[in-house]
Amino acid sequence: MSNEELLRHHGLRTTALRLDLLRLLQASDRALTHQEFEGGLKVEADRVSIFRSLNAFVEAGVAHRVLDGRGTSCFARCGTDCGHGHHNDTHAHFRCNTCGHVYCMDPIELPGVALPRGFKLAKSYLELDGTCKGCR
Amino acid sequence: MSNEELLRHHGLRTTALRLDLLRLLQASDRALTHQEFEGGLKVEADRVSIFRSLNAFVEAGVAHRVLDGRGTSCFARCGTDCGHGHHNDTHAHFRCNTCGHVYCMDPIELPGVALPRGFKLAKSYLELDGTCKGCR
DNA sequence: AAATTAAACGCAACTGTGTTGCATTTCAAA
DNA sequence: TTTGAAATGCAACACAGTTGCGTTTAATTT
Ligand SMILES: [Mn+2]
Ligand SMILES: [Mn+2]
Ligand SMILES: [Zn+2]
Ligand SMILES: [Zn+2]
Query: What is the rounded distance in angstroms from the CA atom of residue B40 to the CA atom of residue B20?
Result: 9
pLDDT at B99 over 90: yes
Domain-embedded: residue A62: yes
Q: Which of residues 2-41 of A touch strand D (CB under 7 A)?
A: 12-13, 15-18
Tens of pLDDT, residue by residue over A43-81, are 999 999 999 999 999 999 999 999 999 999 999 999 988
- In this prediction, residue A14 has a pLDDT band, given cuts at 50, 70 and 90, of very high
pLDDT of residue B19: 98
Q: What is the CATH number of the domain that holds A122?
A: 1.10.10.10
- Report yes or no on B135 lying in a domain: no
CA of A26 to C1' of D3 (A): 35
- The residue segments making up the domain with residue A94 are 3-130
Amino acid at B108: I
Q: How far apart are the CA of B65 and the centre of ligand 2, in A?
A: 7
Q: What tens digit of pLDDT does each residue of A67-118 get? A: 999 999 999 999 988 999 889 888 999 999 999 999 999 988 888 889 999 9
- pLDDT, tens digit (0-9, with 9 covering 90-100), for B58-82: 999 999 999 999 999 999 999 988 9
CB contact under 8 A, B71 and A71: yes
Taking the C-alpha atoms of residue B124 and residue A94, their distance in angstroms, rounded to an integer, is 9
| Band (B120; pLDDT cuts 50, 70, 90) | very high
* CA proximity to B90, closest of B102, B75, B105, B103: B105
Q: What is the pTM of this model?
A: 0.92
Residue A55 lies in a domain: yes
A19, containing H or E segment: helix A16-27
Question: Does some domain include residue A136?
Answer: no
pLDDT at B6: 96
Q: How confident is the model at residue B90 (pLDDT cuts 50, 70, 90)?
A: confident
8 A C-beta contact, residue A131 and residue B117:
no
How many domains in chain A? 1
Segments of chain B assigned E as strands: 32-33, 63-67, 73-77, 91-96, 102-107, 120-131
Nucleotide nearest to A55 (CA to C1'): C18
For residue B88, pLDDT over 90 is answered with: no
Residue B136 lies in a domain: no
User: Nearest CA to A70 among A40, A104, A95, A93?
Assistant: A95
Close Cβ partners of B85 (under 8 Å, ≥ 6 residues apart): B59, B61
When computed from its CA atoms, the radius of gyration of chain B, rounded to whole angstroms, is 16
Nearest CA in chain A to B95: A121
